[in-house]
Amino acid sequence: MDSVDLKAPIHNAVLPPVSSQTQFASWIGVTPDTVRGWVENQTIPTVKIGRQRFIDVVSYMDAVKRGKTIFQRGDFNES
């Protein structure tokens, strides 16, 4: 069995392109209510699939890679 390097950085290839709000909250260490508020305030990027709104992990990671460290209300306004 191959050993896994737990200190290796996580790359986009292993992250899902979208995430549920609950999964995203767990991933970044905040409550689901916090993520729900960010979604409602368009603070983080989302995509609507059916009737549910998911976190657009690819767009989120792109913003972080570009150096974004502060996410504010309306940053990802879709209009």
pLDDT, one tens digit per residue, over 22-35 is 999 999 999 999 99
Query: Given pLDDT bands bounded at 50, 70 and 90, which one contains residue 57?
Result: very high
CATH number for 44? 1.10.10
Domain contains 45: yes
Q: Determine contact, residues 76/59, Cβ cutoff 8 Å.
A: yes
Domain contains 26: yes
Alpha-carbon gap, residue 40 to 72, rounded angstroms: 12
Domain contains 47: yes
Domain contains 31: yes
Alpha-carbon gap, residue 51 to 61, rounded angstroms: 24
What is the per-residue pLDDT for 16? 85
Number of domains in the chain: 1
Domain contains 46: yes
Domain contains 54: yes
Range of the domain at 31: 16-65
